[in-house]
Copies of this chain bind each other. A is one copy, B any other.
């Protein structure tokens, strides 16, 4: 017991410090810099004198790291470069990455030359049946040769740097930080060469981080404090409030699994938290604070209540999909009593969507736009809201109520009850019908649907935290992973944008004709 207490207190001391100071410092610094103007900055001329000698030194080491011959003292050059990079202020990093993107891309003269050669070749006639293909082999040789050369000359020179860093100790982590920087620069300004650098690096990272190279690790209280502090630091969905909270999430009735890459030891790239329960939880409060937890032998449901990525530089690389599938396999194997796999998920975009819809209805006047509230909902709302909010109609009242950061409406039972009907109904519409490029508008929804889940249930007052109220008026969703339908669902979502949902969720949208009629008024 005493030993445990000591471990706790040691962990406590490090808990609040974010891991890996070098990388996170850089990201914090970044926030303090003014927007960059694209040309070498003159906004802090006095300070940049010393930066620019640093810059030149790092640029030099970057050049060595790319251009040195295979077997030269590459390791030292790569170390120099990565150390130098971490020491650079943000504006210099940006310049360096632009230099990399522009001056180490392709030899376009060579590419064009090869293309001309290729276009000069005559395509062998005849069909491609294997039987007579043998005779054609000879005539294809030139194609194979130039295609191969073209593949090589279409590789930007900076690929060498990426490849070398990937095989260098600490290099993969550095690449992930570099990409996080690139993404943050692109968020400020869309620069085509930097965009091309990012897209190339992303493809490389996808290859290197293929699930074959990742290890599934069951994270427990016996893991090192340095690993656990990362779980605390990176938990993005439901922040871990204290050590007891963390210990509970790793204890009886709970599981936490992470994907580790051998080149980034002790730091899961992504991790998922699972609660083993008797029924699919309706609120996050019961998941985070049910005490005592369900005995594991009685559990029939594995609830995924949080999935967090630790690397901003791996944005857009879907490791979560593979992680969920692996975890389902592991849990099914180890706990045959568990037959339901579900999530309790936030709706990060619901309020943003709804408020902007309401605002646009207001702007255009309700006559020509769709009316989001049914007449009976509107009159009930106007009556109940009298003492809380003002507005000339239901749309304005509901918008004022929902956009207030004091969330007064949650404190009135009457008002909550009146709001529940439209908020649940509109949430079903948001989830099932609102699309962006054929995919669900909600990012979490899109994630689970593309992984093959279905929408199981919308839960009222499921997350009463400030974040939960702000994002989704406290609503949460259960996505259900039905093992036998995962592939089928994913496929129909992928190819046709079809969203599977339970009858319960569909029912919210059934009296469609009523809405249609209202809209004609």
Contacts and interface: CB of A to CB of B under 8 A. Distances in A.
A167 B71 contact: no
Contacts of A328: none
B147 A130 contact: no
When all copies of this chain in the complex are counted, the total is 2
A73 B69 CA distance: 45
Interface string A97-136: 0110011001010011001101100010000101101100
A207 interface: yes
Given A130-B99, A154-B151, A144 B196 contact: yes
A381 interface: no
Given A199-B148, A207-B207, A450 B212 contact: no
A127 to B, nearest CB: 11
A193 interface: yes
Given A199-B148, A212-B263, A262-B212, A71 B494 contact: yes
B212 A172 contact: yes
Interface string A151-193: 1001100000001001100011000000000000000000111
Interface of A: 38-40, 69-74, 95, 98-99, 102-103, 106, 108, 111-112, 115-116, 118-119, 123, 128, 130-131, 133-134, 137-138, 140-141, 143-144, 147-148, 150-151, 154-155, 163, 166-167, 171-172, 191-193, 195-196, 199, 207-208, 210-213, 215, 262-263, 450, 452, 487-488, 490-491, 494-495
19 contacts: A70-B494, A71-B452, A71-B487, A71-B494, A72-B487, A72-B491, A73-B487, A73-B488, A98-B133, A108-B123, A111-B147, A112-B119, A133-B193, A166-B210, A166-B212, A167-B212, A171-B212, A172-B212, A208-B213
